[in-house]
Amino acid sequence: MIGFDEKKQIFKIDTPNSSYVMGIVGGEYLAHLYYGQRIEVNDLGYLLDFPEEDLINASVGNGEKVSFMDRLPHEYPCHGTGDFRQSCLKVRGPQGNWGVDLRYAGYEIVSGKPELDGLPATFGDDGETLAITLRDDCLVLKVKLLYSVFPGIDCVMRSVSVENQGTDMLYLEEVLSACLNVGEGDCEALSLTGSWARERHITRQKVDVGVQLIESARGISSHQHHPFYALVSEHAGQESGEVYGMHFVYSGSFQGIVEKSQHGSHRMVMGIHPQDFCWQLKSGESFQAPEVVLVYSGTGLDAMTRNLHELYREHLLPRKWVYQKRPVLINNWEATYFDFDQDKLLAIAKEAAGHGIEMLVMDDGWFGRRDSDNSSLGDWKVNEEKLRGGLKKLVDGVNALGMKFGIWFEPEMISPDSEVYRAHPDWALRLPGREPAQSRNQLVMDLSRPEVREYVYESVAGILRSANISYVKWDMNRPLTDVGSSYLPADRQGELMHRHTLAVYELQGRLCREFPDLLLENCASGGARFDPGMLYYSPQIWCSDDTDAIERLAIQEGTQLLYPLSVIGAHVSDCPNHVLGRSVPFETRAVVAMAGTFGYELDITKISEEERAAIPAQVKRYQAYAPLIQQGDYYRIASYQDNHYYDCYQVVSKDKKTSILMFVQVLAQVNRPSRTIRLKGLAIDRDYQIDGKVYSGEALMKAGLVMKRPHGDFRGEIIEISMFSR
């Protein structure tokens, strides 16, 4: 999959349908030559449009070196020495100035994929990794570029480490993880944007000369921008057009940039946001940047999606949970908010158990004096006025009903009105001389402090040790502001944002090791930290606080573009919806929630008899579909966000024998009694049975399936498709 042509000085990385090619220019500079459809030849140096003497004399005495540097498609561009496009590395040297000039110093190709110290990353022994070493002899700086691939997947995983091999202190002010140079031509930038309760909407913008960017400087990957950027050819669709994607395996502040240069070429970069970032690198120390996943498709978005789904299922998600059955749960948040006690929870559990629901999750409000959101975060002690007899008694009571038990935490936060804050005000992030700004009446713990990390861990682990708890919802309800630490010295304050993210990884990794059977679900005000980094620790993430089924269509479509359905936290909630006030039929709410982990977010003791009676069949149906949802190939057929009338996607088993079609009619159209849907992913030479009728796979995919729809809005259904043997 990876090779080096010594004579031509060409590196070539092949996946099943793509090739990634780099070359050593002038014996010293590493240049990007090609990324695209798989190509068998590697002699692509001619793509560098330079006079031969420029290539030979690039590094010594060339009177036009600046022009050369500003045109060369650097594989890892640096700041300060002639490349004025977006850079990846900016280093402040011992004299206080900036400038890095990296030269090629060697390579190795190894089997497998090395771990990244302290960071989540894709993994697998079946892969192969290319490590290219670059050096700046003036700074005595070593940079190692890693490229990994796995069999059968059209993705290239990239990461960077920077090592100070000199004696002077260096300061890293920008360390992005990857750069991708793409040629000329009209294209669009595709990203996932939004806000609270409307996360990850698919957005496309024409790319023109200059810079476009997505970013989060909030200390989390954020509701507003998702750490994914793609260049797509104009009018690229689900099954046509070129796609160059970059997905960042990181959960903190990030920046992704697309730049169209004066010469018409494009450059994409992705990495930790350089705002408020400065990492002190002492002699002998290294800095490891997070991983970026590159993905190329020459046949549209569907192929990109399936490659990312396969990569994350097989090489990122916790192995225990990838294909293991997930419990259908009921969460009490929208049922009770803070107003509950043990009797109320047991009443919900008893009713839920009788309808086939498998787990009760106790949300916010069980600890300290937590009767609203204005106190007690950090005081992780059970409120025995609410839970008489303690947590274990409640858990045992739920277990006696045949149900598992889950619990909510927000470990990274601290309330000013809490015992722990009154004892340790220095445990919260704050700027000297300023009163820190609150959000949701809370502050952020200073996780750079070892004693804070230990306190946070033992607070969570102690509760888990005290009772038979199967699931944890780890929440995080505000961005980072007032980013100052009384623990870190003045010249290391620029490390604080990144150190917070590393601490979250450390805590969740430690939790998963001590409690290997624990099902961990991440959450951050809904979907503010839905990213590949968190999936390394938790096999599912709460998709959005907006549980309205119709709003969820666009949110889940954007999420499904990148992530397997099995990681998407989705529940059936009460109506009128608590966020929007809209009412949607109970069955349609269930159809939409089938796109993810499936559960309920309502008071089952108060809904109508008709809705309660529908739950057992919904649970049974989800359990039957779960293996297909976890393992099958996803195909997007129609987007409500685009057409404004209906939404439709399909999941097909790997052997193409079974499939389900999810269809939601949002708005009925006058005088339109039916709609024809062209299916995808079936075997063209086999027959399929739908509702007792037999169709050829070729007919279903080319001519389509007629969907007869009743009058009315918000109608959803799931259609089962199975291979038919005559």
Which residues are known catalytic residues? 475, 545
CA 629 to chain CA mean position, Å? 18
Helix (H) / strand (E) containing 309: helix 301-315
Phi, psi of 306 (to 5 degrees): -70, -30
In three-state secondary structure terms, 17 is coil
End-to-end alpha carbon distance in the chain: 42
> What is the spatial distance between Cα 310 and Cα 469, in angstroms, rounded to a whole number?
30
**Beta strands 519-522 and 471-474, pairing class:** parallel
In three-state secondary structure terms, 526 is coil
Structure tokens at 493: 């304050």
DSSP 8-state secondary structure symbol assigned to residue 98: B
In three-state secondary structure terms, 49 is coil
Is 578 in contact with 334 (CB distance < 8 Å)?
yes
Question: Helices 549-560 & 586-593, crossing angle to 10 degrees?
Answer: 10
For residue 228, the tally of other CB atoms under 10 A from its CB is 26
> What is the spatial distance between Cα 52 and Cα 141, in angstroms, rounded to a whole number?
29
Task: List helix spans (H) across 561-644.
Answer: 586-593, 609-631, 640-643
For residue 157, the tally of other CB atoms under 10 A from its CB is 28
Task: List helix spans (H) across 515-608.
Answer: 532-535, 549-560, 586-593
Work out whether the CA dihedral 533, 521, 716, 564 comes out positive or negative. positive
Amino acid at 350: K
> What is the spatial distance between Cα 459 and Cα 313, in angstroms, rounded to a whole number?
31
519 burial level (CB within 10 Å; 0-12, 13-18, 19+): buried
